[in-house]
Structure 1
Amino acid sequence: MSCTKAYVEWNGFKGTVTINEPVVRYPGNPILTCHDVNEIWGNDGRLYTYTVHNAGMAEVTGANGKTQTIMLFRSHIADGRSVIGKAVSDNGLNAWKIDPRPFLLPATESDLFAKGVDIASIIESEAGGVEDIRVNPVGSGLYVLTYSAYHGQITDRVKVMIAVTQDFKTVVRYGPISEQDMRNVVIFPEPDKNKKWIALLRPNDKNREVAGSGHIGGSFEEICTGFAAGPTGPWEIANVIMRSGHGPSAFQAKIGPGAPPIRTRYGWLNIFHGVRSTMAGNPYTLGVAFHDREDPTNPSKLRISAKPLLMPSASDCLVRETDYVHVPNVVFTCGALAGQDDTLAIYYGGNDTVMNIGLANIQILNEMCNVFRLDPLTGKHLYSL
């Protein structure tokens, strides 16, 4: 049965979504800003921040049985690097309690590392900042954190790092998921039928370098799969599962994984991001796809909507007149949480500057992937007007 309109509710935030307007924005957006963080961090000038965005999300249940929402947010500090902070809320909407120190800073020798890793290499790889963390639940109360780490000296040299936590207090670093330059890695929350763990990865194309500059070239148009015997790796990069293609598409110039996949009755829900080149810039949008539950890495069983899930608007970056705005026309997610009655809470950064939340309905998202079909490997539309 098709679904073109649905009701959504998240801890008192209620609304209606349709196939034409699949996300309802929270009227209290933004839910977290640099001003909130600077009330806690601002006394240390080294940690004074200008943005709060692109947060990984988790829901955890404490010993008292009470559920809390954890947000691991990215912030630009004064020297241009990014760090990752932690905020906790009882309802996932407001009254966020911010930790007095960042959750994750560029690595130093005093941090915790897994046995056998190259500590000096990790420290070098993270010296330029850490950002865009994903919180990947892998069972038994364990969370694998995947985040981008920038080199301190080589422009745009970036690797995706793996770390592990159980309590969101202690973090153990495992090093890069691959030696290839990469962004945007998410891990499925359970192994496949062959007991292999699966990841979606966005390598920086073929890791081409522009001669003499150290700058990484490439088109960033593909999402690949990765496999490992365990969620911390070692990981093997495998086949391409999504290509953005060309032409009049919201995902024409660039795509990448967004939030970690969520199991639904329609398949594994994949919220990704896409970029389109325009004469006025490169707007980032959110897209939606469903992977087959039993065969999630098979492109022929992947359903993608050509219609974006969320496009940037003026309401996504409400700031003070004198505030810094990092990148205009961007919506970007690193985490989404499933609620009751098919409600999906999407936590997203606006203009790489503030944190927002919007609600979607999983039935509506499934219908979008049925009506606005896109070929996973060519980016061509599979429906007629």
Structure 2
Amino acid sequence: MTFAFDQLVFTPADVDLSRSPLAGKLGVKTYILGAFNPGMTRLANGNLLLMVRVAEALRHPVKEQFIHAIRWTADGYVMDPWPLEMVDTKDPRKFMIPGGGWKVMALTSLSWLLPVELSADGREVVTVHYDRAIEPRADYQCYGVEDARISKVGDRYLMTTCSVSPERHSTTLYSSEDALDWTLEGIVLDHQNKDMLIFEGLVGGKYFAQTRPLGDLYFAYPPGSEWRSGPSINLATSPDALHWKPYDKPGIRPHAATTATARIGGGAPPVLTDAGWLTLWHGVEPSGVVGIYRTYWSILDRDDPSKVVRTSHDALLQPAPVLTEAIKDLMYLDNVVFTTGIADGGDHWVVASGEADLACRVTWIDKAAVE
């Protein structure tokens, strides 16, 4: 599929490290591992806002046979040392700490959120709002704030993020009247529930959201089922966007007919169209360490989002190595496109994604392609 516009609009080179929330607070050199997975919404002035996940990592994490991780505390940022013989560093994004009987990991970076204002068409950067950056501010965020998704419901902007800590891997909610000044509302989904996407509108007078609980155990579907066991996109409802109840019916499930979506999760917040709720989501084909991430689409029933009106096994967006060619020296993985935002562009959708866990990609997608 070809697109009228499909470019990287923000990369690690566009981040001014001197204006990072961590600047001057660690006493060592850091660098931007990635500026990616941007939540997106349209501002009152017509411009688009990206809430970019900035993963800031230690330039030299290993010192004297220890690898270090950055951690926020109420008294400032610190570096925790781990003996190299205790860890597995196969994945550049994290290191595993084996031996406890279950998976334990630490991150090679700490993520914070940077508001980047784009032109109305999403083609160019207008302003980078360093003064409104969001950094950890509670113990449940001590390892970072990740992967914002922004929805506008009525006159209020709602932003979900993944907050990372040893306490829990939770979903937190921020609210705003203008999408620039945000109030932290706290935890809304508990341990290891990722990719929470609030629908851009009420359904039957309730807030609806897609969720994706994680786990190491899934029960099998019966032999011959059209569904594949594994992570799926669930639904939840709320009277106020703060208190959520899981929906009794399942949402989008991995299909047995294809391994390209063997593992799935939410992408951009669902938006209402004439056909129903358009949802863009990611499917992961098992391959190598992290797999191949692609973007897919489905239309959900406007009155009962557990019903899929139509969908496609063909990917809407593929990883695009040609886009990262100019910054290939910064790449640490490939085969990943991770869609995180959508906005109406008239005859097309403006879609925001993270490319290769490295940079922000904006793509114009003809509305006819997802109807």
Q: For 2:268, what is the secondary structure of its paired residue?
A: coil
Residue 138 of structure 1: aligned partner: 153
Measured in 1, the distance between the counterparts of 2:11 and 2:250 equals 36
Deviation at 1:207, TM superposition (A): 8.3
Is 1:59 aligned to 2:45, yes or no? Answer: no
Residue 381 of structure 1: aligned partner: none
Output the amino acid matched with 2:309: L
The alpha-carbon distance between structure 1 residues 281 and 138, as it changes in their structure 2 partners (threshold 3 A), is closer
The alpha-carbon distance between structure 1 residues 159 and 134, as it changes in their structure 2 partners (threshold 3 A), is same
Measured in 2, the distance between the counterparts of 1:260 and 1:180 equals 21
Output the amino acid matched with 2:301: D
Is 1:173 aligned to 2:184, yes or no? Answer: yes
Deviation at 1:39, TM superposition (A): 6.5
Selected match of 1:303 from 289, 310, 314: 310
CA contact (8 A) 2:295 2:317 kept: yes
The alpha-carbon distance between structure 1 residues 124 and 274, as it changes in their structure 2 partners (threshold 3 A), is same
Matches within 5 A, 1:259-274: 259-274=268-283
Moved more, 39-48 or 80-89: 39-48
Q: For 2:15, what is the secondary structure of its paired residue?
A: helix
Selected match of 1:227 from 220, 227, 237: 237
Measured in 2, the distance between the counterparts of 1:333 and 1:305 equals 16
The alpha-carbon distance between structure 1 residues 358 and 196, as it changes in their structure 2 partners (threshold 3 A), is same
The alpha-carbon distance between structure 1 residues 321 and 55, as it changes in their structure 2 partners (threshold 3 A), is closer
Q: For 1:24, what is the secondary structure of its paired residue?
A: coil
Is 1:365 aligned to 2:370, yes or no? Answer: yes
Matches within 5 A, 1:346-385: 346-366=351-371
Matches within 5 A, 1:67-82: 67-78=46-57, 79=70, 80-82=109-111
Is 1:332 aligned to 2:338, yes or no? Answer: yes
CA contact (8 A) 1:56 1:72 kept: yes
Measured in 2, the distance between the counterparts of 1:328 and 1:101 equals 32
CA deviation vs aligned residue, 1:310-330 (integer Å, no higher than 9, x gap):
11121242343542x243210
Measured in 2, the distance between the counterparts of 1:320 and 1:292 equals 41
Deviation at 1:294, TM superposition (A): 2.4
Is 1:244 aligned to 2:254, yes or no? Answer: yes
The alpha-carbon distance between structure 1 residues 147 and 326, as it changes in their structure 2 partners (threshold 3 A), is farther
Deviation at 1:172, TM superposition (A): 1.5
Measured in 2, the distance between the counterparts of 1:126 and 1:132 equals 13
CA contact (8 A) 1:51 1:326 kept: no
CA deviation vs aligned residue, 1:88-132 (integer Å, no higher than 9, x gap):
12332113321234621111xxxxxxxxxxxxxxx2211110111
The alpha-carbon distance between structure 1 residues 102 and 34, as it changes in their structure 2 partners (threshold 3 A), is farther
Q: For 2:250, what is the secondary structure of its paired residue?
A: strand
The alpha-carbon distance between structure 1 residues 295 and 321, as it changes in their structure 2 partners (threshold 3 A), is closer
Q: For 2:368, what is the secondary structure of its paired residue?
A: helix
Selected match of 1:83 from 112, 115, 138: 112
The alpha-carbon distance between structure 1 residues 280 and 73, as it changes in their structure 2 partners (threshold 3 A), is closer
Q: For 2:158, what is the secondary structure of its paired residue?
A: strand
Deviation at 1:178, TM superposition (A): 2.0
Residue 133 of structure 2: aligned partner: 103
Deviation at 1:357, TM superposition (A): 1.1
CA contact (8 A) 1:180 1:207 kept: no
CA deviation vs aligned residue, 1:207-249 (integer Å, no higher than 9, x gap):
89xxxxxxxxxx852111101112x220011232111144533
Is 1:199 aligned to 2:209, yes or no? Answer: yes
The alpha-carbon distance between structure 1 residues 349 and 316, as it changes in their structure 2 partners (threshold 3 A), is farther
Q: How many residues align?
A: 304
Measured in 2, the distance between the counterparts of 1:180 and 1:52 equals 25
Deviation at 1:48, TM superposition (A): 4.4
Q: For 1:290, what is the secondary structure of its paired residue?
A: strand
The two structures, once aligned, show a CA RMSD in angstroms of: 2.4
Deviation at 1:263, TM superposition (A): 1.2
Moved more, 347-356 or 168-177: 168-177
Q: For 1:77, what is the secondary structure of its paired residue?
A: strand
CA deviation vs aligned residue, 1:327-352 (integer Å, no higher than 9, x gap):
321001110111112x0111111101
Residue 19 of structure 2: aligned partner: 41
Deviation at 1:281, TM superposition (A): 5.2
The alpha-carbon distance between structure 1 residues 227 and 247, as it changes in their structure 2 partners (threshold 3 A), is same
Q: For 2:351, what is the secondary structure of its paired residue?
A: strand
Structure number with the higher strand fraction is 2
Q: Which runs of 4+ in 1 moved over 6 A?
A: none
Residue 345 of structure 1: aligned partner: 350
CA deviation vs aligned residue, 1:175-220 (integer Å, no higher than 9, x gap):
2222242100111122112x11111101113789xxxxxxxxxx85
Measured in 1, the distance between the counterparts of 2:146 and 2:288 equals 28
Deviation at 1:38, TM superposition (A): 2.3
The alpha-carbon distance between structure 1 residues 77 and 45, as it changes in their structure 2 partners (threshold 3 A), is farther
Identity percentage over the alignment?
A: 23
The alpha-carbon distance between structure 1 residues 127 and 279, as it changes in their structure 2 partners (threshold 3 A), is closer
Measured in 2, the distance between the counterparts of 1:228 and 1:174 equals 15
Residue 322 of structure 2: aligned partner: 315
The alpha-carbon distance between structure 1 residues 319 and 76, as it changes in their structure 2 partners (threshold 3 A), is farther
Gap regions ≥5 residues in structure 2 = 58-69, 71-108, 219-228
CA contact (8 A) 1:316 1:331 kept: no
Q: For 1:278, what is the secondary structure of its paired residue?
A: coil
Q: For 1:313, what is the secondary structure of its paired residue?
A: coil
Output the amino acid matched with 1:132: D
After TM superposition, the score normalised by the length of structure 1 is: 0.73
